[in-house]
Chains A and B, each alone.
Chain A
């Protein structure tokens, strides 16, 4: 049943994209609306509930728009689309959470927001659960919840350098996991 549905999706999307290549804006709009929902479901399952998901959906839509001429009607639309979504997910995660470079540290006595429970976020994110727990926690705190490295390091009880290393290694492993994943 799942395969049949995927084949139907593939045919419908490919047909809309072929029409979009001829300049049919209506077909293109329907395609983008439908795949945005699919992308959102895909990302929520892997990264849990976060602003990141909506940001990534919108960035992916923009990328798909910019890359639309590179889709070859002889190839799978689904494979083309998910390659872009996965790439944008990693790209966006890498660019997020660099607050320590741009913002002044909180002044003494100022209230610092306490990180939400990363355990709960980890539970909701299928892909992050596959990482070693310390890497998953580091990514959730810095990249999904938007805390600074200092705040994340304090929460995890490690040094800033250790936290930076966890984030770096976590991203690397995440990319490998996404690349190894079968086409959804």
Chain B
């Protein structure tokens, strides 16, 4: 005689109706909208955007492509994070690797920019605290993502935390591409590199903040 029977009786007796589950795509869009609103509001409260960034986007297709790459990398990362909250959703791992590849490609675009920048390098719009800003804005975005994920059931909480961290770091990093000075070496060290601590923070806090199932 195993304890399985009484366990099933107990679980059936304590069953309560489930709350409606949003689609993971909707959750990702909700998070992205909140993340951009927060980042833009917080960023503008510290310093204005780089003068002429909109004209640069229109005038330089390569700069626009770099920007789009960062935008897509963050969006795919958060989609992967929420998809990882659904056990057996086969595409979660593929999306996660896809987002990491996009982040890698985004980084490589600036490495290439060291030799051939897409815009004329300039210190116009320099923000003295851009490195700290990426991490400071990334941390609450990470927390928000992990709290939204608490209703789901990610099986690998370290991995899920890390991928949400990648998304949370990518949004303020991309904001800095438009809000801070355009010098590829500066972007690599002060905007892209701080994504790594946010990823590590996600990996470290994921097991604490996400539900163990």
Could you tell me which A residues sit within 8 Å of B by CB distance? Answer: 20-26, 28-29, 32-33, 36, 54, 57-58, 61-63, 65-70, 72, 75-76, 79-84, 87
Complex interface: chain B residues within 8 A of A24 (CB) = 15
The interface bits of chain B over 76-119 (1 if a CB of A lies within 8 angstroms of the residue's CB, else 0) are 00000000011111100000000000000000000000000000
Cα of A84 to Cα of B17 in the assembled complex, Å: 21
Complex interface: chain A residues within 8 A of B189 (CB) = none
Cα of A65 to Cα of B213 in the assembled complex, Å: 9
Q: Can you name 24 A-B residue pairings with CB atoms under 8 Å?
A: A20-B18, A22-B18, A25-B12, A32-B8, A32-B11, A32-B12, A58-B2, A61-B8, A61-B11, A62-B11, A63-B213, A66-B153, A67-B213, A68-B18, A69-B19, A69-B151, A70-B21, A70-B151, A70-B152, A75-B88, A75-B89, A83-B87, A84-B153, A87-B156
Cα of A87 to Cα of B155 in the assembled complex, Å: 7
Q: A58-B2, A63-B213, A66-B153 are in contact. List 5 more A-B contacts (CB 8 A).
A: A21-B17, A69-B18, A70-B21, A75-B89, A81-B88
Q: A23-B17, A87-B87 are in contact. Are A67 and B153 (CB under 8 A)?
A: yes
Asked if B88 and A80 sit within 8 Å, CB to CB, the answer is yes
Q: A20-B15, A32-B11, A79-B90 are in contact. Are A57 and B4 (CB under 8 A)?
A: yes
Docked complex: B1-51 residues within 8 A CB-CB of A: 2-4, 7-9, 11-13, 15-19, 21, 23
Q: A22-B17, A26-B12 are in contact. Are A58 and B3 (CB under 8 A)?
A: yes
Partner of B86, one of A25, A61, A72: A72
Least Cβ–Cβ distance between B82 and chain A, in angstroms:
11
Is the C-beta of B127 less than 8 angstroms from some C-beta in chain A? no
Partner of A29, one of B12, B17, B18: B12
Asked if A29 and B9 sit within 8 Å, CB to CB, the answer is yes
A76 — nearest CB in chain B belongs to which residue?
B88
Least Cβ–Cβ distance between B117 and chain A, in angstroms:
42
In the A-B complex, the 6 residue pairs with the smallest Cβ-Cβ separation, listed nearest first, are A67-B153, A83-B88, A79-B88, A29-B12, A23-B17, A83-B87
Complex interface: chain B residues within 8 A of A79 (CB) = 88-90
Asked if A29 and B8 sit within 8 Å, CB to CB, the answer is yes
Interface of B: prevailing SS: loop
Q: How many residues of B contact A (CB 8 A)?
A: 29
Asked if A84 and B87 sit within 8 Å, CB to CB, the answer is yes
Is the C-beta of B62 less than 8 angstroms from some C-beta in chain A? no
Q: A21-B17, A58-B7 are in contact. Are A66 and B211 (CB under 8 A)?
A: yes
Asked if A23 and B15 sit within 8 Å, CB to CB, the answer is yes
Complex interface: chain A residues within 8 A of B8 (CB) = 29, 32-33, 36, 61
Partner of A28, one of B7, B12, B86, B151: B12
Asked if B155 and A84 sit within 8 Å, CB to CB, the answer is yes
Least Cβ–Cβ distance between B161 and chain A, in angstroms:
16
Most chain-B CB neighbours within 10 Å: which of A67, A76, A80, A84? A67
Cα of A21 to Cα of B3 in the assembled complex, Å: 24
Complex interface: chain B residues within 8 A of A83 (CB) = 87-88, 155
Complex interface: chain B residues within 8 A of A32 (CB) = 8, 11-12
Complex interface: chain A residues within 8 A of B4 (CB) = 36, 54, 57-58, 61
Partner of B87, one of A22, A29, A61, A70: A70
B149 — nearest CB in chain A belongs to which residue?
A70
Partner of A65, one of B3, B11, B89: B11
